[in-house]
Structure 1
Amino acid sequence: MAVAADVKLEGLRAATDKLDQISENEKSGFISLVSRYLSGEAEQIEWSKIQTPTDEVVVPYDTLSAAPEDLNETKKLLDKLVVLKLNGGLGTTMGCTVPEQEIVEKYSNSDIEIHTFNQSQYPRIVTEDFLPLPSKGKTGKDGWYPPGHGDVFPSLNNSGKLDTLLAQGKEYVFVANSDNLGAIVDIKILNHLIHNQNEYCMEVTPKTLADVKGGTLISYEGRVQLLEIAQVPDEHAIKRLVEAEALKMEIIPNPKEVDGVKVLQLETAAGAAIRFFEKAIGINVPRSRFLPVKATSDLLLVQSDLYTLVDGFVIRNPARTNPTNPSIELGPEFKKVANFLARFKSIPSIVELDTLKVSGDVWFGSGVTLKGKVTITAKSGKLEIPDGAVLENKDINGPEDL
């Protein structure tokens, strides 16, 4: 078996060396990842060693010290911080295609310094012969893939941005997905990391039924481990671990099919790096810090009167007494952003809504209010909800039910 793996790796290495679309760093990173995968290096978790993390390992948010009241002290903390937004979640399921460069350009004349860099691109591996797909003539974007957000650490280093930021005296980086509108800088967390010299902090929050993805923090052999917001301070922790090639996160094999050809993508997750940093912790943060917009049902929540934008903070409406958000299920007619926006003259009021399920050719007028449990089904043709309608605990199947 080992010989076959060696042959596979050498053939892949030779073919990858001939690809001119990627840098030497990307080639090296790709071959290293594949080598680890073929060697079967991935660790097997011994279930008997898993322990529930203590409050020292996963710190309750309400036990954190208050942020400094002195503005100068706060400024000193923030001067050490870089905010890094990952654009991996592009909202492709909603019909979005690219991160908008225009947003970055809006700040070109401000005193905010914005750097951009691309993560690595690795060639997809053809399952049948274990050769890179681009070497077979598939040179377009379908031949390549981004190797997961675990790639943020080497990419930050390889781009030269890490050295630039370190030279500016930056010591901490707050990493969050751009689609998580709840992921804002928290001085209390930053202050805690500085005072306790934690090299890495992962924010965790209680799961809901909607959270089928994502890991769980465990204590394993004396360290915290993931079984993804990272806040990584420096002694220069990222640089030290990247240069020592010590960030060997668990490999996630992701089989795909491209134009009928079975391919393999090998990925890593940023959160899995937690076990390589010293004094790494989790912080059990309020659910309000996790507000991802991955589908139009999420977009309906944040565009409604349930949330307002105050000084860049997405604030939940205090009039909502239920601590959980409404459960919203929209039919395929609402899946793309353009269609979603076209079907609402204005976003309904949902402060008192518990559940909403919409299916069929439904169109909403302006000033609609939804309360309790509402189901709207267009069983035959177009169904219009009139302007100003108040629907409370209703099951609507046609105009006669309005």
Structure 2
Amino acid sequence: MADEKLPKLREAVAGLGQISDKEKSGFISLVSRYLSGDEEHIEWAKIHTPTDEVVVPYDTLESPPEDLEATKALLNKLAVLKLNGGLGTTMGCTGPKSVIEVRNGFTFLDLIVIQIESLNKKYGSNVPLLLMNSFNTHDDTLKIVEKYSNSSIEIHTFNQSQYPRVVADEFLPWPSKGKTDKDGWYPPGHGDIFPSLMNSGKLDLLLSQGKEYVFIANSDNLGAIVDMKILNHLIHKQNEYCMEVTPKTLADVKGGTLISYEGRVQLLEIAQVPDAHVDEFKSIEKFKIFNTNNLWVNLKAIKRLVEADALKMEIIPNPKEVDGVKVLQLETAAGAAIRFFDHAIGMNVPRSRFLPVKATSDLQLVQSDLYTLVDGFVTRNSARTNPSNPSIELGPEFKKVGSFLGRFKSIPSIVELDSLKVSGDVWFGSGIVLKGKVTITAKPGVKLEIPDGAVLENKDINGVEDL
């Protein structure tokens, strides 16, 4: 089957003027791997739980030298790269997700810039910031970073690859069938970071500046800050790749985990798990950790592996329907590259290093009194004794950032909250305190207003009469 489809596809891709030859060959390589079906299947019996040598407990790391010059020398070997290709569409925003306001009027990107500025200022170092955009976020990001033109840090932007969506029934690129606008294309997942870093020229630039490691993280993860202990460990142990993992809770059961497999450390994603073992995968007994997507990678190793075309990460087929047409996009994940690097490790880090904002319920957490903001760093309030955060479920009325913000006069105090579930047309006054388990349900067609200063502890509220 592959024999018939590939030549036609190759011919059609050759005629696409919008993308570079490197993007064309990368795309063809991905498709031919997919069609050949030579994906490695995991043999369940060969999976082993990684030892502490492979997944290093964070609390066993040595503290780096306190000496200012030594710290500066360490930091000068580092670049920070944020994945900035995502749009804030799920939260009702247009443009890059990184420009959503998180706290005190600061966006994700503002906080990232402030963090790196304060590091560089404190140690006299030169840690640059790179933003990997997609064609969806590129133009907006260029405008946004202009506001940092007076900043003391070097900011670089580059684009990840742009691949054509494939029309499922004919297996031809959609742009060659006349779909020439943005919908005909897709960014092929963050696994594409390695060739894109190389193709953009940024990899060679970093190497020429004496950089050795890049710290990669999602731009919406507020916990992903530069950690000297981790950097120090990697440089001393010469680990080419480090994935930060953290203990699973029941909210993370679908997250990828690290396993030892045939003598190497490997990422296991739920999509690779045979149906008979999915429940086992989701249990937090056997697979106790999950991937935060905070990755530390050696730059020379990236260059070596990209040049050898050795990074053959598992392909994630992502079928979609756009404008009534069934299309296929093939993607890869950066975490899956771990098995190709030498001396690759996991690092079992505190949960505080994983604070993503995927929905408005996450935004409520980080805007509340559960966190404070110092030098761009979001720090958890020590007054909360429970190590895990409250679980918050907000109804569809709160899904978009605009409507979420409109429904709160101020964000309630939640330091003593265990769980909150809100459904229906609910509005919050200012100075509200929530404690224990709180459920608020507005009856259909009824607007329910929680008054200023209300203190709700272990309450189930279905109307004004319950307040």
Per the normalisation by structure 1, the TM-score is 0.97
Match of 1:347 in 2: 411
Matched residues, number: 398
Contact 1:89–1:294 at 8 Å: present in 2 too?
no
Asked if residue 385 in structure 1 is aligned to residue 446 in structure 2, the reply is no
Match of 2:66 in 1: 69
Match of 1:179 in 2: 220
Match of 1:7 in 2: 4
Q: CA–CA distance in 2 between the matches of 1:137 and 1:337?
A: 35
Q: CA–CA distance in 2 between the matches of 1:331 and 1:396?
A: 15
The 5 Å alignment of 1:207-246 reads 207-227=248-268, 228-234=293-299, 236-246=300-310
Q: CA RMSD in A?
A: 1.1
Question: Helix, strand or coil for the counterpart of 2:26?
Answer: helix
The gaps in structure 1 that reach 5 residues or longer are none
Q: CA–CA distance in 2 between the matches of 1:65 and 1:145?
A: 43
Q: How far 1:139 moved relative to its partner?
A: 0.8
One-letter amino acid of the counterpart of residue 397, structure 2: E
Q: How far 1:246 moved relative to its partner?
A: 0.3
Question: Helix, strand or coil for the counterpart of 1:29?
Answer: helix
Q: CA–CA distance in 2 between the matches of 1:158 and 1:23?
A: 10
One-letter amino acid of the counterpart of residue 366, structure 2: V
Match of 1:295 in 2: 359
Question: Helix, strand or coil for the counterpart of 1:182?
Answer: coil
The gaps in structure 2 that reach 5 residues or longer are 100-140, 269-292
Q: CA–CA distance in 2 between the matches of 1:127 and 1:160?
A: 34
Question: Which segment is superposed worse, 305-314 or 282-291?
Answer: 305-314
Match of 1:18 in 2: 15
Contact 1:88–1:177 at 8 Å: present in 2 too?
no
Match of 1:36 in 2: 33
Q: CA–CA distance in 1 between the matches of 2:60 and 2:466?
A: 51
Q: CA–CA distance in 2 between the matches of 1:359 and 1:43?
A: 44
Asked if residue 282 in structure 1 is aligned to residue 279 in structure 2, the reply is no
Q: CA–CA distance in 1 between the matches of 2:8 and 2:251?
A: 43
Match of 1:158 in 2: 199
Q: How far 1:212 moved relative to its partner?
A: 4.0
Question: Helix, strand or coil for the counterpart of 2:4?
Answer: helix
Of 57, 70, 73, 2:54 maps to 57
Q: How far 1:220 moved relative to its partner?
A: 0.9
Of 399, 416, 427, 1:363 maps to 427
Q: CA–CA distance in 1 between the matches of 2:250 and 2:186?
A: 30
Match of 2:313 in 1: 249
Asked if residue 128 in structure 1 is aligned to residue 192 in structure 2, the reply is no
State the Cα deviation string for residues 292-342 of structure 1 (Å, max 9, x = none): 000000000000000111122110000001111000000000000000000
Match of 1:81 in 2: 78
Q: How far 1:20 moved relative to its partner?
A: 1.1
Q: CA–CA distance in 2 between the matches of 1:89 and 1:21?
A: 21
Q: CA–CA distance in 2 between the matches of 1:177 and 1:253?
A: 21
Q: CA–CA distance in 2 between the matches of 1:352 and 1:194?
A: 41
Q: CA–CA distance in 1 between the matches of 2:67 and 2:411?
A: 40
State the Cα deviation string for residues 323-373 of structure 1 (Å, max 9, x = none): 110000000000000000000010000000000001111111111110011
Contact 1:91–1:295 at 8 Å: present in 2 too?
no
Q: CA–CA distance in 1 between the matches of 2:16 and 2:362?
A: 40
Question: Which segment is superposed worse, 244-253 or 224-233?
Answer: 224-233
